[in-house]
Amino acid sequence: MVASVTTQIQSPRSPTDDIAEVLLDAQAIAGKVAELGARITADYAGKDPVLVSILKGALPFLADLMRQIPIPLSLDFLEVSSYGNSTESSGVVRILKDLAHSIKDRHVLVVEDILDTGFTLRYVLEHLDQQKPASVKLCTLLDKPARRIVPITVDYRGVEIPDRFVVGYGLDYNERYRNLPFIGVLKPEVYGRP
């Protein structure tokens, strides 16, 4: 006699199952990126800027933004860490990967996904300023002023958002959710799950 074994196959959990609310859908993001790109194009015409992206979260924003800037430009990258696996910035910033090329006498535009406490961006802006660029300005897709501790001047601001923990469009929690095509609020019960 052969016993029958029933195996239940569970479908994998979708990252969207962990989202409480969508703050910005893909269409709203695209509209804001196009608007920022037009302003940057006008302001940097004839200046051959270098866009410095903060890895990893800002990559989708950078990729879309640079396609909206039809003037000569170059790219470089910094990788910094201040969050680890937490939802709160530790306030201690480390550079994990520095620029590959000199920015001396160049017009630098820092492209960041989100401005929160300001600790990371203050550190980055000071680090870049020490390299004697012609100018350094900041473009951030999201601004969360309720969490600001360090004052930062934002030259190109996409959207001001409330004090909620957001993921998607490059933003992560524990290296997940970056691939979502929208920006959404992560359900609080997800924070403690491995």
Active site residues: 116
Structure tokens at 28: 């709203």
Phi then psi dihedrals of residue 183, to 5 deg? -110, 120
The residue type of 192 is G
Give exposure, 85-119, as e/b (b: 16+ Cβ within 10 Å).
eeeebeeebeeeeebeeebeebbbbbbbbbbbbbb
Identify whether the C-beta of residue 163 lies closer than 8 Å to the C-beta of residue 46.
no
User: Largest Cα–Cα distance of the chain, in whole Å?
Assistant: 82
- The sign of the dihedral angle between the CA atoms of 154, 160, 162, 166 is negative
